[in-house]
Structure 1
Amino acid sequence: METFTFLLGIPRNYQVGQIDQKILKPALEEVSVYFDHLSVFMQNQPSRIEIIII
């Protein structure tokens, strides 16, 4: 998750819900015009959160 937030320039104080609401959802809306069936799945693991973009 740390690498993901660093690469996207996400502030360190953002919680997972904020990343989803403020970054992932708006980005998906923008790029869904170019990609059919684009989805993001967030899997909560005990020690980390895994984000899968399909």
Structure 2
Amino acid sequence: LNFIEQCWGYSKRVYREFPMSSKEADLERNVLAALRLFSTRSLRFMDAYRRGLNGK
């Protein structure tokens, strides 16, 4: 999965778990932090695939 898909999946899960909010600050909070998190995670996956790792 690319990092946008991972971030979107995480956002959907958080949306389902917590009550809705109409505050603008709540909607925009931690967006960059989440994107960086999943970008780094995707880079780790790509590096593992490049090295031929299989998780065993």
Shorter-chain TM band: 0.3 to 0.5
> Could you say which structure has the higher helix fraction?
2
Flag the structure with more relative contact order, 1 or 2, with Cα contacts below 8 A and sequence separation at least 6. 2
TM-score normalised by structure 1 residue count:
0.34
TM-score (norm 2): 0.34
Query: Rg: which structure is higher?
Result: 2
